[in-house]
Amino acid sequence: MVSSQVILKHGRDRNVRARHPWVFSGAVDKVKGKPQSGATVEVRAANGDLLGLGAWSPASQIQVRLWTCAEASIDHGFFVRCIRQALAYRQQLGIPARNSAYRLINAESDGLPGVVVDVLRLAGDASPTASRVLETHPGRRPAGSDSGQGVYERSDVDVRKKEGLETTTGSLKGATPPAHIDIVEEGRHYRVDVLNGHKTGFYLDQRDNRSVLQQYAAGKTVLNCFSYTGGFSIAALHGGAAQATNIDASQPALDIAAQAAALNGFQPSQMENICGDVFKLLREYRNENRQFDIVVLDPPKFADNRKQLEKAARGYKDINLLGFKLLKPGGLLFTFSCSGLMESSLFQKIVADAAVDADCDARILRKLDQATDHPTRLAFPEGYYLKGLVCQK
Ligand code: SAH
Protein backbone atom coordinates (compact mmCIF):
# COMPACT_ATOMS: atom_id res chain seq x y z
CA MET A 1 0.00 0.00 0.00
CA VAL A 2 1.25 3.47 -0.86
CA SER A 3 0.23 5.73 2.01
CA SER A 4 1.75 9.08 1.01
CA GLN A 5 0.79 11.47 -1.74
CA VAL A 6 2.75 14.24 -3.42
CA ILE A 7 0.35 16.81 -4.85
CA LEU A 8 1.69 19.00 -7.65
CA LYS A 9 1.00 22.69 -8.00
CA HIS A 10 -1.70 23.76 -10.39
CA GLY A 11 -0.32 23.68 -13.94
CA ARG A 12 2.90 21.88 -12.94
CA ASP A 13 1.84 18.41 -14.11
CA ARG A 14 2.90 18.82 -17.75
CA ASN A 15 6.32 17.18 -17.48
CA VAL A 16 5.07 14.14 -15.65
CA ARG A 17 2.14 13.76 -18.05
CA ALA A 18 4.77 13.80 -20.83
CA ARG A 19 6.40 10.88 -18.98
CA HIS A 20 9.42 12.75 -17.76
CA PRO A 21 10.49 10.68 -14.73
CA TRP A 22 11.50 13.55 -12.38
CA VAL A 23 9.41 15.78 -10.12
CA PHE A 24 11.29 18.92 -9.06
CA SER A 25 10.71 20.42 -5.61
CA GLY A 26 9.39 23.64 -7.19
CA ALA A 27 6.48 21.73 -8.72
CA VAL A 28 5.36 20.22 -5.41
CA ASP A 29 2.40 21.88 -3.69
CA LYS A 30 2.01 19.61 -0.69
CA VAL A 31 2.83 16.22 0.69
CA LYS A 32 0.15 14.15 2.41
CA GLY A 33 1.51 11.62 4.88
CA LYS A 34 5.03 11.33 6.24
CA PRO A 35 7.03 9.38 3.66
CA GLN A 36 10.53 8.32 4.61
CA SER A 37 13.36 8.98 2.19
CA GLY A 38 13.17 6.32 -0.52
CA ALA A 39 9.55 5.37 0.16
CA THR A 40 7.14 4.91 -2.73
CA VAL A 41 4.71 7.82 -3.03
CA GLU A 42 1.78 8.60 -5.30
CA VAL A 43 2.20 11.65 -7.51
CA ARG A 44 -1.06 13.48 -8.16
CA ALA A 45 -2.03 16.53 -10.18
CA ALA A 46 -3.73 19.48 -8.45
CA ASN A 47 -7.10 18.09 -9.57
CA GLY A 48 -6.35 14.74 -7.91
CA ASP A 49 -5.47 12.73 -11.05
CA LEU A 50 -3.01 9.93 -10.26
CA LEU A 51 0.05 10.58 -12.47
CA GLY A 52 2.40 7.87 -11.28
CA LEU A 53 4.34 6.22 -8.48
CA GLY A 54 7.86 7.15 -7.53
CA ALA A 55 10.60 7.22 -4.92
CA TRP A 56 10.57 10.11 -2.45
CA SER A 57 13.83 12.03 -1.90
CA PRO A 58 13.12 15.03 0.36
CA ALA A 59 16.63 16.51 0.43
CA SER A 60 16.99 16.62 -3.34
CA GLN A 61 15.80 19.18 -5.88
CA ILE A 62 14.48 16.11 -7.68
CA GLN A 63 11.99 15.17 -4.99
CA VAL A 64 10.39 12.22 -6.74
CA ARG A 65 11.80 9.83 -9.30
CA LEU A 66 8.98 7.99 -10.99
CA TRP A 67 9.03 4.22 -11.24
CA THR A 68 5.91 4.17 -13.37
CA CYS A 69 3.18 6.30 -14.90
CA ALA A 70 0.83 3.32 -14.91
CA GLU A 71 -1.16 1.87 -12.04
CA ALA A 72 1.27 -0.78 -10.92
CA SER A 73 2.51 -2.19 -7.64
CA ILE A 74 6.09 -1.28 -6.92
CA ASP A 75 7.06 -4.62 -5.48
CA HIS A 76 9.65 -7.32 -6.04
CA GLY A 77 7.86 -8.47 -9.21
CA PHE A 78 7.99 -4.96 -10.67
CA PHE A 79 11.77 -4.81 -10.37
CA VAL A 80 12.20 -8.36 -11.67
CA ARG A 81 10.18 -7.43 -14.77
CA CYS A 82 12.32 -4.32 -15.33
CA ILE A 83 15.57 -6.27 -15.03
CA ARG A 84 14.34 -9.07 -17.31
CA GLN A 85 13.21 -6.58 -19.93
CA ALA A 86 16.57 -4.80 -19.80
CA LEU A 87 18.43 -8.08 -20.19
CA ALA A 88 16.19 -9.24 -23.05
CA TYR A 89 16.92 -6.04 -25.00
CA ARG A 90 20.68 -6.53 -24.62
CA GLN A 91 20.45 -10.23 -25.49
CA GLN A 92 18.50 -9.39 -28.63
CA LEU A 93 21.47 -7.30 -29.74
CA GLY A 94 23.88 -10.10 -28.81
CA ILE A 95 25.72 -7.85 -26.37
CA PRO A 96 26.20 -10.34 -23.49
CA ALA A 97 27.25 -13.01 -26.00
CA ARG A 98 30.07 -10.89 -27.43
CA ASN A 99 30.98 -8.91 -24.34
CA SER A 100 31.68 -10.12 -20.84
CA ALA A 101 31.02 -6.56 -19.61
CA TYR A 102 27.97 -4.49 -20.42
CA ARG A 103 25.47 -2.07 -18.91
CA LEU A 104 22.44 -4.07 -17.77
CA ILE A 105 20.45 -1.18 -16.30
CA ASN A 106 20.83 2.34 -17.68
CA ALA A 107 18.81 4.11 -15.00
CA GLU A 108 15.85 6.22 -16.22
CA SER A 109 16.12 4.84 -19.74
CA ASP A 110 15.59 1.27 -18.49
CA GLY A 111 12.75 2.33 -16.20
CA LEU A 112 14.79 2.39 -12.98
CA PRO A 113 15.61 6.05 -12.23
CA GLY A 114 18.89 6.57 -10.43
CA VAL A 115 19.96 2.93 -10.75
CA VAL A 116 22.92 1.95 -12.89
CA VAL A 117 24.02 -1.69 -13.06
CA ASP A 118 27.06 -2.81 -15.03
CA VAL A 119 27.78 -6.52 -15.40
CA LEU A 120 31.41 -7.61 -15.44
CA ARG A 121 32.25 -11.25 -16.02
CA LEU A 122 35.67 -12.75 -16.44
CA ALA A 123 36.46 -13.33 -20.10
CA GLY A 124 35.42 -16.90 -20.85
CA ASP A 125 32.94 -17.11 -17.98
CA ALA A 126 29.74 -17.48 -19.97
CA SER A 127 27.49 -17.60 -16.92
CA PRO A 128 24.15 -16.02 -17.88
CA THR A 129 23.03 -15.64 -14.30
CA ALA A 130 24.00 -12.01 -13.72
CA SER A 131 20.41 -10.84 -13.67
CA ARG A 132 19.37 -13.72 -11.41
CA VAL A 133 21.79 -12.44 -8.79
CA LEU A 134 19.99 -9.08 -8.86
CA GLU A 135 16.51 -10.53 -8.96
CA THR A 136 16.70 -12.53 -5.73
CA HIS A 137 15.49 -10.95 -2.53
CA PRO A 138 18.32 -9.79 -0.30
CA GLY A 139 19.04 -12.57 2.11
CA ARG A 140 16.74 -15.08 0.47
CA ARG A 141 19.56 -17.01 -1.12
CA PRO A 142 23.31 -16.53 -0.80
CA ALA A 143 23.38 -15.68 -4.49
CA GLY A 144 26.44 -16.99 -6.17
CA SER A 145 28.60 -16.70 -3.09
CA ASP A 146 30.31 -19.96 -3.96
CA SER A 147 30.59 -19.27 -7.69
CA GLY A 148 32.46 -15.99 -7.40
CA GLN A 149 29.41 -13.92 -8.22
CA GLY A 150 28.42 -10.89 -6.28
CA VAL A 151 26.94 -7.43 -6.35
CA TYR A 152 29.34 -4.61 -5.50
CA GLU A 153 28.10 -1.09 -4.85
CA ARG A 154 29.96 1.96 -6.18
CA SER A 155 27.77 4.71 -4.79
CA ASP A 156 30.75 7.04 -4.57
CA VAL A 157 29.40 9.55 -7.07
CA ASP A 158 29.23 13.22 -6.10
CA VAL A 159 25.56 13.61 -7.08
CA ARG A 160 24.59 11.58 -4.03
CA LYS A 161 25.47 14.59 -1.90
CA LYS A 162 22.68 16.52 -3.63
CA GLU A 163 20.31 13.78 -2.47
CA GLY A 164 21.53 14.05 1.11
CA LEU A 165 22.89 10.51 0.75
CA GLU A 166 26.19 9.25 2.06
CA THR A 167 28.68 8.08 -0.50
CA THR A 168 29.38 4.42 0.01
CA THR A 169 31.10 1.45 -1.60
CA GLY A 170 31.14 -2.20 -0.71
CA SER A 171 29.83 -5.65 -1.28
CA LEU A 172 26.02 -5.93 -1.25
CA LYS A 173 25.81 -9.60 -1.94
CA GLY A 174 27.93 -12.65 -2.69
CA ALA A 175 31.63 -12.48 -3.30
CA THR A 176 33.68 -9.26 -3.28
CA PRO A 177 35.20 -8.80 -6.73
CA PRO A 178 38.91 -9.43 -7.14
CA ALA A 179 41.29 -6.47 -7.53
CA HIS A 180 41.14 -6.91 -11.30
CA ILE A 181 38.55 -8.44 -13.60
CA ASP A 182 39.83 -9.27 -17.08
CA ILE A 183 36.98 -8.84 -19.52
CA VAL A 184 36.52 -9.31 -23.25
CA GLU A 185 34.80 -6.73 -25.46
CA GLU A 186 34.19 -7.61 -29.11
CA GLY A 187 37.33 -9.76 -29.06
CA ARG A 188 39.44 -7.17 -27.23
CA HIS A 189 40.81 -7.94 -23.77
CA TYR A 190 40.71 -5.33 -21.04
CA ARG A 191 41.61 -5.22 -17.38
CA VAL A 192 39.09 -3.58 -15.06
CA ASP A 193 39.56 -2.35 -11.52
CA VAL A 194 36.00 -2.51 -10.17
CA LEU A 195 36.94 -1.52 -6.63
CA ASN A 196 38.96 1.64 -7.34
CA GLY A 197 38.61 2.49 -11.03
CA HIS A 198 36.51 5.34 -12.43
CA LYS A 199 32.73 4.85 -12.34
CA THR A 200 32.27 1.06 -12.21
CA GLY A 201 35.81 0.56 -13.50
CA PHE A 202 35.45 0.80 -17.27
CA TYR A 203 33.93 3.17 -19.83
CA LEU A 204 31.43 0.76 -21.36
CA ASP A 205 29.71 3.67 -23.13
CA GLN A 206 32.61 3.91 -25.62
CA ARG A 207 32.48 0.25 -26.73
CA ASP A 208 30.89 0.86 -30.14
CA ASN A 209 33.22 3.79 -30.81
CA ARG A 210 36.28 1.71 -29.98
CA SER A 211 35.03 -0.76 -32.61
CA VAL A 212 34.73 2.10 -35.12
CA LEU A 213 38.30 3.25 -34.44
CA GLN A 214 39.49 -0.34 -34.92
CA GLN A 215 38.18 -0.25 -38.50
CA TYR A 216 40.22 2.83 -39.39
CA ALA A 217 43.46 1.96 -37.64
CA ALA A 218 45.43 -0.37 -39.92
CA GLY A 219 49.04 0.78 -40.19
CA LYS A 220 48.36 4.06 -38.36
CA THR A 221 50.01 5.89 -35.48
CA VAL A 222 47.51 6.83 -32.78
CA LEU A 223 47.65 9.49 -30.07
CA ASN A 224 45.03 8.57 -27.45
CA CYS A 225 44.41 11.58 -25.18
CA PHE A 226 42.58 11.04 -21.87
CA SER A 227 43.22 7.35 -22.45
CA TYR A 228 42.26 6.02 -19.00
CA THR A 229 43.14 2.27 -19.18
CA GLY A 230 43.92 2.34 -22.90
CA GLY A 231 40.49 1.45 -24.29
CA PHE A 232 40.89 3.12 -27.67
CA SER A 233 44.57 2.19 -28.05
CA ILE A 234 43.92 -1.51 -27.62
CA ALA A 235 41.12 -1.31 -30.18
CA ALA A 236 43.48 0.47 -32.58
CA LEU A 237 46.18 -2.17 -32.12
CA HIS A 238 43.58 -4.88 -32.80
CA GLY A 239 42.85 -3.04 -36.01
CA GLY A 240 46.52 -3.23 -36.97
CA ALA A 241 47.75 0.18 -35.78
CA ALA A 242 51.53 0.57 -35.98
CA GLN A 243 51.81 2.30 -32.61
CA ALA A 244 49.60 3.86 -29.94
CA THR A 245 50.46 6.53 -27.38
CA ASN A 246 48.29 6.97 -24.28
CA ILE A 247 48.20 10.19 -22.32
CA ASP A 248 46.39 10.31 -18.98
CA ALA A 249 46.76 12.07 -15.65
CA SER A 250 46.30 8.79 -13.77
CA GLN A 251 49.35 6.55 -13.40
CA PRO A 252 47.29 3.62 -12.01
CA ALA A 253 45.08 3.76 -15.13
CA LEU A 254 48.15 3.73 -17.38
CA ASP A 255 49.64 0.79 -15.46
CA ILE A 256 46.47 -1.16 -16.22
CA ALA A 257 46.69 -0.09 -19.88
CA ALA A 258 50.17 -1.64 -20.11
CA GLN A 259 48.91 -4.85 -18.50
CA ALA A 260 45.94 -4.95 -20.87
CA ALA A 261 48.27 -4.63 -23.88
CA ALA A 262 50.10 -7.73 -22.68
CA LEU A 263 46.79 -9.58 -22.17
CA ASN A 264 46.13 -9.07 -25.87
CA GLY A 265 49.59 -10.30 -26.84
CA PHE A 266 50.91 -6.90 -27.95
CA GLN A 267 54.57 -5.98 -27.45
CA PRO A 268 55.45 -3.22 -24.95
CA SER A 269 56.97 -1.22 -27.83
CA GLN A 270 53.54 -0.98 -29.51
CA MET A 271 52.08 1.09 -26.68
CA GLU A 272 53.62 4.13 -25.07
CA ASN A 273 52.12 5.38 -21.77
CA ILE A 274 52.64 8.97 -20.70
CA CYS A 275 51.40 10.33 -17.41
CA GLY A 276 50.71 14.03 -17.65
CA ASP A 277 48.34 16.86 -18.48
CA VAL A 278 46.89 16.61 -21.99
CA PHE A 279 46.54 20.40 -22.34
CA LYS A 280 50.24 20.83 -21.64
CA LEU A 281 51.56 17.84 -23.56
CA LEU A 282 49.61 18.65 -26.74
CA ARG A 283 51.29 22.08 -26.75
CA GLU A 284 54.70 20.46 -26.33
CA TYR A 285 54.01 18.04 -29.19
CA ARG A 286 52.85 20.91 -31.40
CA ASN A 287 56.05 22.85 -30.63
CA GLU A 288 58.08 19.75 -31.50
CA ASN A 289 56.07 19.35 -34.76
CA ARG A 290 55.05 15.81 -33.84
CA GLN A 291 52.44 14.31 -36.18
CA PHE A 292 50.03 11.38 -35.92
CA ASP A 293 47.63 9.60 -38.27
CA ILE A 294 44.88 9.45 -35.67
CA VAL A 295 44.22 11.60 -32.59
CA VAL A 296 41.59 10.58 -30.02
CA LEU A 297 40.20 13.20 -27.61
CA ASP A 298 37.92 11.73 -24.94
CA PRO A 299 38.11 14.19 -22.04
CA PRO A 300 36.18 13.97 -18.77
CA LYS A 301 32.95 15.93 -18.39
CA PHE A 302 33.89 19.63 -18.67
CA ALA A 303 30.46 21.01 -17.66
CA ASP A 304 28.49 19.94 -14.58
CA ASN A 305 26.03 22.83 -14.87
CA ARG A 306 25.03 25.58 -17.27
CA LYS A 307 27.33 28.11 -15.68
CA GLN A 308 30.32 25.98 -16.67
CA LEU A 309 29.25 25.64 -20.31
CA GLU A 310 31.24 28.57 -21.63
CA LYS A 311 34.42 27.47 -19.93
CA ALA A 312 33.77 23.93 -21.19
CA ALA A 313 33.41 25.26 -24.74
CA ARG A 314 36.81 26.95 -24.44
CA GLY A 315 38.33 23.67 -23.20
CA TYR A 316 36.91 21.68 -26.13
CA LYS A 317 38.02 24.35 -28.59
CA ASP A 318 41.54 24.31 -27.18
CA ILE A 319 42.15 20.57 -27.33
CA ASN A 320 40.46 20.15 -30.71
CA LEU A 321 42.55 22.95 -32.21
CA LEU A 322 45.70 21.26 -30.95
CA GLY A 323 44.39 17.87 -32.10
CA PHE A 324 43.95 19.14 -35.67
CA LYS A 325 47.45 20.64 -35.59
CA LEU A 326 48.96 17.28 -34.62
CA LEU A 327 47.27 15.41 -37.47
CA LYS A 328 48.99 14.57 -40.72
CA PRO A 329 47.04 15.61 -43.83
CA GLY A 330 44.33 12.97 -44.31
CA GLY A 331 44.55 12.07 -40.63
CA LEU A 332 41.53 11.39 -38.43
CA LEU A 333 40.35 13.16 -35.29
CA PHE A 334 38.09 11.06 -33.02
CA THR A 335 36.69 13.75 -30.77
CA PHE A 336 34.13 13.34 -27.97
CA SER A 337 32.12 15.23 -25.40
CA CYS A 338 30.46 13.41 -22.51
CA SER A 339 28.95 16.60 -21.07
CA GLY A 340 25.20 16.12 -21.35
CA LEU A 341 24.67 19.88 -21.33
CA MET A 342 26.84 20.29 -24.44
CA GLU A 343 24.42 19.71 -27.30
CA SER A 344 25.59 17.86 -30.41
CA SER A 345 25.10 20.87 -32.67
CA LEU A 346 27.11 23.17 -30.38
CA PHE A 347 29.86 20.58 -30.05
CA GLN A 348 30.08 20.28 -33.83
CA LYS A 349 30.29 24.06 -34.11
CA ILE A 350 33.15 24.19 -31.58
CA VAL A 351 35.05 21.50 -33.49
CA ALA A 352 34.44 23.41 -36.75
CA ASP A 353 35.81 26.60 -35.15
CA ALA A 354 38.83 24.66 -33.92
CA ALA A 355 39.54 23.47 -37.48
CA VAL A 356 39.33 27.04 -38.76
CA ASP A 357 41.74 28.28 -36.10
CA ALA A 358 44.08 25.35 -36.81
CA ASP A 359 44.02 26.59 -40.41
CA CYS A 360 42.84 23.28 -41.81
CA ASP A 361 40.04 21.96 -43.95
CA ALA A 362 38.25 18.98 -42.47
CA ARG A 363 35.14 16.89 -43.05
CA ILE A 364 32.96 14.73 -40.83
CA LEU A 365 33.20 11.07 -41.79
CA ARG A 366 30.96 9.80 -39.04
CA LYS A 367 28.91 10.82 -36.03
CA LEU A 368 29.20 8.72 -32.90
CA ASP A 369 27.30 8.33 -29.66
CA GLN A 370 26.93 6.18 -26.58
CA ALA A 371 26.88 2.40 -26.97
CA THR A 372 23.58 0.61 -27.56
CA ASP A 373 23.41 -0.72 -23.99
CA HIS A 374 23.11 2.95 -22.95
CA PRO A 375 19.72 3.78 -24.52
CA THR A 376 17.97 7.12 -24.05
CA ARG A 377 14.29 7.32 -23.27
CA LEU A 378 12.65 9.91 -25.55
CA ALA A 379 10.89 11.45 -22.55
CA PHE A 380 14.27 11.77 -20.82
CA PRO A 381 16.69 13.56 -23.16
CA GLU A 382 19.03 14.12 -20.19
CA GLY A 383 20.02 10.47 -20.66
CA TYR A 384 21.84 11.32 -23.88
CA TYR A 385 25.30 12.63 -23.05
CA LEU A 386 28.05 11.08 -25.17
CA LYS A 387 28.59 12.36 -28.66
CA GLY A 388 31.55 12.22 -30.96
CA LEU A 389 32.76 13.07 -34.44
CA VAL A 390 35.23 11.38 -36.71
CA CYS A 391 36.79 14.22 -38.67
CA GLN A 392 39.28 13.90 -41.49
CA LYS A 393 41.84 16.62 -42.01
N1 SAH B 1 38.85 7.12 -23.32
C2 SAH B 1 38.74 6.39 -22.08
C3 SAH B 1 37.93 7.14 -21.03
C4 SAH B 1 38.44 8.52 -20.68
S5 SAH B 1 37.81 9.17 -19.18
C6 SAH B 1 38.19 5.00 -22.33
O7 SAH B 1 37.69 4.73 -23.44
O8 SAH B 1 38.26 4.16 -21.44
C9 SAH B 1 38.75 10.63 -18.96
C10 SAH B 1 40.17 10.42 -18.50
O11 SAH B 1 40.82 11.69 -18.53
C12 SAH B 1 40.38 9.90 -17.09
O13 SAH B 1 41.13 8.71 -17.15
C14 SAH B 1 41.19 10.99 -16.36
O15 SAH B 1 42.21 10.45 -15.53
C16 SAH B 1 41.81 11.74 -17.50
N17 SAH B 1 42.12 13.17 -17.31
C18 SAH B 1 41.34 14.14 -16.80
N19 SAH B 1 41.92 15.35 -16.93
C20 SAH B 1 43.11 15.14 -17.54
C21 SAH B 1 44.16 16.00 -17.99
N22 SAH B 1 44.09 17.31 -17.83
N23 SAH B 1 45.22 15.43 -18.60
C24 SAH B 1 45.29 14.09 -18.77
N25 SAH B 1 44.31 13.25 -18.40
C26 SAH B 1 43.24 13.76 -17.79
190 Cβ closer than 6 Å to some ligand 1 atom: no
Residue 68, H or E segment? strand 62-68
- The DSSP output letter for 245 is E
Q: Considering only CA atoms, which of 117, 62, 126 is closest in space to residue 87?
A: 117
Q: Which atom of ligand 1 is nearest to the CA of 277?
A: 23
Residue 40, H or E segment? strand 40-44
Q: Give the relative orientation of helices 231-238 and 207-216 as an angle to the nearest 10 degrees.
A: 40
Which residues 6+ apart lie within 8 Å of 50 measured at CB?
42, 43, 44, 71
The rounded mean pLDDT for the chain is 94
- Mean pLDDT confidence for 163-185: 92
Cα–Cα distance, 343 to 329 (Å, whole number): 28
Residue 158 has pLDDT above 60, yes or no: yes
Whole-prediction pTM value? 0.94
249 Cβ closer than 6 Å to some ligand 1 atom: yes
- State the pairing for strand pair 181-185/168-174: unpaired
What residue's CA is closest to ligand 1, atom 6? 231
What residue's CA is closest to ligand 1, atom 23? 277
Residue 340 CA to ligand 1 center (angstroms) comes to: 17
Cα–Cα distance, 390 to 41 (Å, whole number): 46
Residue 27 has pLDDT above 80, yes or no: yes
List, for residues 35-50, the tens digit of each pLDDT value. 999 999 999 999 999 9
Cα–Cα distance, 302 to 312 (Å, whole number): 5
List, for residues 55-65, the tens digit of each pLDDT value. 999 999 999 99
203 Cβ closer than 6 Å to some ligand 1 atom: yes
Active site includes 338?
yes
- Mean pLDDT confidence for 267-281: 98
What pLDDT was estimated at residue 372?
98
